Amino acid sequence: MVLTIYGYSCASTRKAKRWLKSHDIPFIYRDIIKKPVNVQEMQAILSLTEGGTDDIISKRSNIYKELDLDFDTLPLNELYELIYKYPRLMRQPIILGDNKIQIGFDQDNIRQFIPREDRVRNLHHILSIC
């Protein structure tokens, strides 16, 4: 499984990349400032979220405040266009892999991307020590 990290140079994205590297988990990094997310990618991201657009929109970002839009009433096509034009509207990083998603960096939740056999092996190792 190769993960995809959608992000740009921010602390959370750097932490996620560093964590994945330290756990030898392969990933492809996609700088969304240089190459914005297209409609198909956005649909794939949204299909894995629990809260839809609320999960991926960064309401603390400057661009969100500057646009001063009602995102709850915004048609999806317009939202896709805004995210393409203003990639910093998206929370960072967004990590995708095998029907799994993580939005933002969370030290505990990112463990979902460790392959199952590795997690089982680590658990057996821990239990054998006890």
Give the active site residues.
Answer: 10
DSSP per residue, 15-42: HHHHHHHHTT--EEEEETTTS---HHHH
Q: CA-based angle 54:57:58, to the nearest 5?
A: 125
Which CA distances in Å does 13 have to 8, 47, 117, 123?
A: 7, 21, 26, 28
CA atoms within 13 A on the CB side of 18: 10
